[in-house]
């Protein structure tokens, strides 16, 4: 009888320890809320939808959803400064025209209370990625990718974050940019954990997205919960910009588990904060 009691007590103790270790593992894993968000550049052509009238809506959306890291596209320096004015955000990434402040950015906004910036850099989507310039058949503008290596302060875990905006006109430029992105991610990050966000101006069946998907996972496809929201992310409109075209992405390496994925449709009842929907995913560093 005593032996049976000892067995039962041992079983209960082991069960408790197992549950405790499981909960402890959950508590100590690094959870990240990541977004990719094309902010739409500040231009007077947009009239009442120019940045002056939209910035509070963008900030309210970001503040409410409590993003940890945001890969942004099209933002000028003053737009990024307006966003980093709130909470404990800062951004990293140079302007595409000079690698400093000039032109649109593919900046990474991050929560300084959670993350320590270890190193960062930029490269251009062209045959000469180390200097500002247009690539291949692009005619409009320079295209840039910004990257950063972060450390999560509580755990000490480190990871790389890449953020990019592919050309919207040059088909060759988009295809070659996909090749360059894969090469640069391998070169810079090696086998370390990687998150890559961006407006790729590319459909999921394009060569460049297929190439990216061979290196990293499209969070849309590996989310534990089914994707939430409309299937598309862009239509050029601020009023009811619902579309079937998915051109904005969040990719991750196999170091991460993807809990959920969504295209957010937050709006004021009439207008949306941008002509792109923010893409957001809760991920966990395994």
For the chain, list the domains and their CATH numbers: 33-285 (3.60.10.10)
Query: Quick one: pLDDT band at residue 62, thresholds 50, 70, 90?
Result: very high
Q: Give the pLDDT score at 23.
A: 39
Query: Quick one: pLDDT band at residue 87, thresholds 50, 70, 90?
Result: confident
For 153, the token pair is 């302060």
Q: Give the pLDDT score at 2.
A: 44
Q: Give the pLDDT score at 228.
A: 97
- Rounded CA gap, 40 and 49, in Å? 10
Residue 262 near residue 229 (C-beta atoms within 8 A): yes
- pLDDT more than 90, % of the chain: 84
| Residue 25 clears pLDDT 70, i.e. is over it | no
Q: What is the tens place of the pLDDT at every residue in 249-285? A: 999 999 999 999 999 999 999 999 999 999 999 999 9
- Rounded CA gap, 235 and 84, in Å? 27
Q: Give the pLDDT score at 24.
A: 36
Q: What is the tens place of the pLDDT at every residue in 105-164? A: 999 999 999 999 999 999 999 999 999 999 999 999 999 999 999 999 999 999 999 999
Q: Give the pLDDT score at 7.
A: 45
Query: Quick one: pLDDT band at residue 21, thresholds 50, 70, 90?
Result: very low
Q: Give the pLDDT score at 116.
A: 98
Query: Quick one: pLDDT band at residue 28, thresholds 50, 70, 90?
Result: low
For 106, the token pair is 């593919």
Q: Give the pLDDT score at 12.
A: 45
Q: Give the pLDDT score at 17.
A: 42
**Residues in CB range of 242: below 8 A, 6 or more apart:** 230, 232, 235, 265
- Token look-up 């998915």 returns 246
- Rounded CA gap, 204 and 201, in Å? 10
Query: Quick one: pLDDT band at residue 3, thresholds 50, 70, 90?
Result: low
Q: Give the pLDDT score at 72.
A: 98
Count other C-beta atoms under 10 Å from residue 38's C-beta. 25
Q: What is the tens place of the pLDDT at every residue in 192-247? A: 999 999 999 999 999 999 999 999 999 999 999 999 999 999 977 898 767 789 99
Count other C-beta atoms under 10 Å from residue 142's C-beta. 22
Q: What is the mean pLDDT of the chain?
A: 91
Residue 117 near residue 92 (C-beta atoms within 8 A): yes
| Residue 10 clears pLDDT 60, i.e. is over it | no
Instruction: Give DSSP secondary structure letters for 90-155.
Output: EEE--BTTTSSSSS-B--EEEETTTEEEEEEEEEESSSSTTS----TT--S---EEEEEEEEETTT
- Rounded CA gap, 232 and 229, in Å? 9
Overall size of the chain counted in residues = 286
Beta-bridge partners for 69: 34, 110
Residue 151 near residue 115 (C-beta atoms within 8 A): yes
Beta-bridge partners for 108: 71, 92
């Amino acid at each position: 009888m005593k032996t049976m009691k000892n067995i039962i007590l041992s079983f209960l103790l082991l069960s408790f320890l197992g549950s405790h270790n499981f909960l402890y593992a959950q508590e100590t894993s690094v959870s990240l809320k990541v977004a990719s968000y094309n902010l739409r550049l500040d231009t007077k052509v947009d009239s009442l939808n120019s940045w002056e009238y939209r910035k509070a809506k963008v900030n309210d959306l970001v503040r409410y959803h409590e993003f940890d890291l945001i890969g942004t596209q099209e933002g000028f320096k003053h737009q990024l400064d307006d966003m980093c004015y709130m909470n404990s955000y800062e951004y990293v990434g140079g302007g595409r025209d000079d690698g400093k402040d000039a032109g649109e950015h593919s900046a990474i906004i991050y929560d300084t209370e959670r993350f320590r910036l270890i190193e960062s850099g930029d490269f251009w989507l062209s045959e000469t990625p180390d200097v500002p310039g247009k690539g291949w058949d692009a005619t409009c503008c320079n295209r840039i990718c910004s990257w950063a290596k972060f450390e999560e302060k509580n755990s000490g875990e480190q990871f790389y974050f890449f953020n990019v905006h592919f050309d919207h006109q040059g088909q060759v430029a988009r295809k070659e940019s996909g090749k360059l992105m894969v090469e640069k991610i391998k070169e810079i990050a090696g086998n370390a954990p990687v998150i890559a966000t961006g407006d790729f101006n590319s459909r999921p069946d394009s060569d460049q997205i297929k190439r990216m998907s061979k290196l990293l996972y499209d969070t849309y496809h590996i989310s534990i919960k089914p994707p939430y929201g409309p299937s598309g992310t862009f239509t050029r409109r601020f009023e009811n910009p619902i579309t079937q075209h998915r051109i904005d992405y969040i990719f991750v390496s196999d170091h991460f588990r993807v809990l959920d994925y969504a295209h957010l449709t937050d709006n004021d009842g009439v207008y949306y904060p941008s002509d792109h929907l923010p893409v957001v995913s809760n991920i966990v560093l395994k």
